[in-house]
Amino acid sequence: MKKALVVVFALLAVGMLAWGDSRGPIIIRSDGDFTEENGVISGSGTPEDPFVIAGWEIQVPPEAQFGVYIGNTTKAFVLRGVRVIGALNPQGAAFFLEGVSGGRIEDCLVESSHHGLVLFASQGVTVEETYFLVAGLGLQVIGTRREHYRHQIDQSNMVNGKPIHYYFGLSDDTLGGIEAGHITVAGSQNVRLVEPRVEEGDGVVIAFSEEMVVEGADLFRNRGHGLMVLSSPRTLVRDCPRIANNARSGISVWLSPRSRVEGCGVYGNQVGIYVNASDRAIITGNSLAGNALGVLVTGASQEVEISDSLFYQNKTSVELAVAFGTLVERCAITDADVGVQVDPEALNPQVRDCSFIYSGYGLSIRGSEGVFERNFIAYANIGIIFEETYGDAFPVANVVRHN
């Protein structure tokens, strides 16, 4: 009931805006495209007198990718009181800002759309009093460096009736008990995010930060990743009771070396824990069940450790894709099509002291220079298989002993 009232009040607030005429998408690819034909009603493009695009209702046709696209511009602008309806292309968004600096989005509404707002390789964007009623992600910030996350996005913005919590530049702080539609902590250091809860929203993003801690998270049925850790070395994720039914992964650790995931329940995601280009990450003491893929290690990650974890009814429990020196030990794996899958580009894997019960294949090996020892395999169709590679790979120097 409370959630429904919040959505109603948000719609009423936006509905008070004086929507202008209906029109098609606005596409601005350079400073020269800030014209009356593209919806500009005033302004000269300076910080003191920005271009103003205001009051439009934009009906997005099925073939269009964006409602409003602004890219590769240097001029100041404001999107104010713009309503976007029907941006349904999952490769696009209602609002897409690319390579811009200092833009503003105020009092806008997105409805009947897939994605709401994408800020791509941009900086210094301010977003206020904007509401995203979407089937996909409300807010996506995408960038390759810390400054691409330097934005001012306050809690007056909402995703499907729940506030956006966006933090940049925190240090030595604790954020506790946040319930939101989206949480991002970026460009920060030594911050604890305690018991965050995001359900049917965007999930949690930790980006370009250091020494971060996420504990006690409840992340359920989000439209992207439950938790994305991006370019944030030494992040600790611990004691999260439910990271479940998220569309992409439960926990993604990308470009974040020496990060650690421990004591978490990860259930029913496309990928349970996704380790990409993150050397010496440690995955320990977790429970993973009902994921299409339990743990994926790829992106040339080195010396990742997966230990002391329980895997139940994951289609594939562990896949080592492009990885070097991965250690899988003391894990219990049951009811899987494949227990541990070692792909051709996985080198020097070690799988030891694990139990495999009721698997199609216990160990499926196509990589090289691995050691597979002291494992217990029972009730498998095939306990250990070196699959045919048909010239795609040439596994060599593997040691299989004491199983």
Q: pLDDT, tens digit, for every residue of 335-345?
A: 999 999 999 99
Q: Per the domain annotation, does 208 fall within a domain?
A: no
Mean pLDDT for 120-125 is: 98
Q: Per the domain annotation, does 382 fall within a domain?
A: no
Range of the domain at 113: 16-160
Q: How many separate domains does the chain show?
A: 1
Q: Per the domain annotation, does 172 fall within a domain?
A: no
Mean pLDDT for 133-162 is: 98
Mean pLDDT for 344-355 is: 98
Mean pLDDT for 287-313 is: 99
pLDDT at residue 166 greater than cutoff 70: yes
pTM comes to: 0.93
Q: Per the domain annotation, does 26 fall within a domain?
A: yes
pLDDT band at 20 (very low <50, low <70, confident <90, very high): low
Mean pLDDT for 40-50 is: 97
pLDDT at residue 320 greater than cutoff 60: yes
Cβ density class 280-300: b for 16+ within 10 Å, e for less: bbbbbebbbbbbebbbbbbbe
Least confident range of 15-24, 167-176, 233-242, 351-360? 15-24
Mean pLDDT for 258-283 is: 99
Q: Give residue 14's pLDDT.
A: 43
Q: Per the domain annotation, does 91 fall within a domain?
A: yes
pLDDT band at 388 (very low <50, low <70, confident <90, very high): confident
Q: Give residue 21's pLDDT.
A: 85
Q: Give residue 17's pLDDT.
A: 44
Q: Give residue 161's pLDDT.
A: 97
pLDDT at residue 288 greater than cutoff 80: yes
Q: Answer whether 113's CB lies under 8 Å from 140's CB.
A: no
Q: Give residue 19's pLDDT.
A: 55
Taking the mean position of all CA atoms in its chain, how far away is CA 12?
A: 31
Average pLDDT, the chain: 95
Q: Give residue 392's pLDDT.
A: 76
pLDDT at residue 3 greater than cutoff 90: no
- The rounded distance, in Å, linking the Cα atoms of 175 and 296 is 29
Mean pLDDT for 114-142 is: 99
Q: Per the domain annotation, does 37 fall within a domain?
A: yes
Mean pLDDT for 83-112 is: 98
Q: Per the domain annotation, does 109 fall within a domain?
A: yes
Tell me the torsion sign for CA atoms 36, 41, 43, 45. negative
- The rounded distance, in Å, linking the Cα atoms of 222 and 269 is 10
pLDDT band at 6 (very low <50, low <70, confident <90, very high): very low
Q: Per the domain annotation, does 301 fall within a domain?
A: no
pLDDT band at 306 (very low <50, low <70, confident <90, very high): very high
Q: Give residue 1's pLDDT.
A: 41
Mean pLDDT for 236-251 is: 99
pLDDT at residue 11 greater than cutoff 80: no
